[in-house]
Structure 1
Amino acid sequence: MGSIDTTTNASSEIQFASRTPESTITAAQKHLQDHGWAVIPDVLSPEENALVLSHLWAAADKFRKQGDDTFMPILDPNASNIRVFYLMALDKIFRDLIQHPVAVEMVEKVLGDNWLISNFTANIARPGSKSMALHSDQSLVMPEPWTATWAMNVIWCLDDVYLENGATLFIPGSDKWTTREDIPKNARSLLKPFEAKAGSIVLMNGRVWHTSGSNITKDKDRALLFGYYTVPFLRQQVNWTAKMPEEVKKELSQELTEKLGMNVHANMAQVSLLKYLDEVFPPEEHEGGEKLSY
């Protein structure tokens, strides 16, 4: 993992690394497989978490200064929800964080080795923020039925997250729903919060139905980052070739360039073995003993 600047002209550096015990990873993978979600605590140290949070607020300011709005009425009822998109184009720390070894290990457990980074965004729920629409990520981009998991979120908790300050709300068992007809009329009453300490990650597969929570506190923010990963045959939310600054493109590793879908072949992933016809189906003979000529 590359080093991360702590200031614009950094004199000190920090490096993301996995400190999570393998037993914790294994337990989280099992819970994610069985329930569609899991929580892993202490993926970031307190120092790392504070650094990322400070860079997030700086990124939000930069996002506004370049003419982008942090309030999206199509998503949120009021401006107390601060949305910051294209994080990886705004700051190197987010290009490093999206590749955190714990996150990648969990992604590959769900999606396999062949995946893309669709987006990396922030949702800061300030006091007074309200819930967005109930949805699953896959329901937004593909038709029914949803019978396989083709996307997942790694949610970085930069504040302590709990019901009152706007924890993401989800419906347990909703990852088994395959059509909108499965959504019960009492869906709202089934919502439960993802509660976690700052520095934790919440893993959520693309079939889990969820919404942002309302922040009913007087003075507590709730900052979350959403790393959204998909199988490569789903179109990415962001065209990173168009969005990434040219000076940043030159610094990207070959691996990150590929995971951002920025190579020439972009999303042309190999999802099956491509072997020559003769290797898989050797030429056969006709009943008369004559070999096929094609």
Structure 2
Amino acid sequence: MAVHPANIAAMPAHLTDTALYLQRLGHDRPPPPTLATLRDLQQWHTAAFPFETLSTLLREPVAVDLPSIERKLLHEGRGGYCYELNRAFLALLQALGFDARGITARVVMGEAEGAVTARTHLLVLATVEGVRYTVDVGFGGMVPTAPLRLDRDDAQPTPHEPYRIARRADEYTLHAQVAAEWRALYVFDLQPQAEIDYVVGNWYVSTHPDSPFLDELRVARTGPGWRRTLGHGGVALHRLGSPSERRALADADEVIVELRDGFGLRVPEHPGLRAAIERWLQRHAHAG
């Protein structure tokens, strides 16, 4: 159901079940708002809550109010994309006492140099002991798994790939080192965002004909030293220091098994799911 702009201010701005959220992230009680906590929560989050676009594959509405996100992540066994994962994580950080707010980015991964794309990615800016960090738990297969210090331009290690943030005037570009090559992921600034900005960005991502997520299935999850991704008709396991292992998926049954067993998702009971997956597989088989 679409959300009327007049109702945005009435949306609950706080989590209703912080305890359950923290339990999913390995904490029995609220941890202190320290850098060590931030690092721990971010790494756990990318492992516990997969990035996934089942809703946009099915052309279902994607709600970004906190009660809907909590229900999807904590009670329905699902994951989500940036407007869900980073929106929930931002609310959690604020509940724990972190100085944190949302910012938005233009995704340039795979685009020509200098391309200006829409602001379609939500991430978090957190300040800990006077130091600013970007925090992101919702960028799919290349999601950073540690906070990245904003005001430095050298390589920063994470439990997975190194990242660096380049600054030009008031804009910042996040890069990841993949196979010894630095790749630009997204460009962002520090402009404050309001709840309506998340709603508008999410509407574009979930409904616009040019959205890369519409009718697409993309899933990603991390673990100690590995990333698992699903997309383009197949699944891949990327281990640090080893060649990636890739496998094509033959039919909807294989995809559903992979979603459940490989990514830990509770696959929704939707009458159109198998047909949507088969169409997705056929498109990528023809593209290949």
Higher relative contact order (CA 8 A, sep 6+): 1
- The TM-score, its normalising length taken from structure 2, stands at 0.33
Max Rg structure:
1
Larger strand proportion, structure 1 or 2? 2
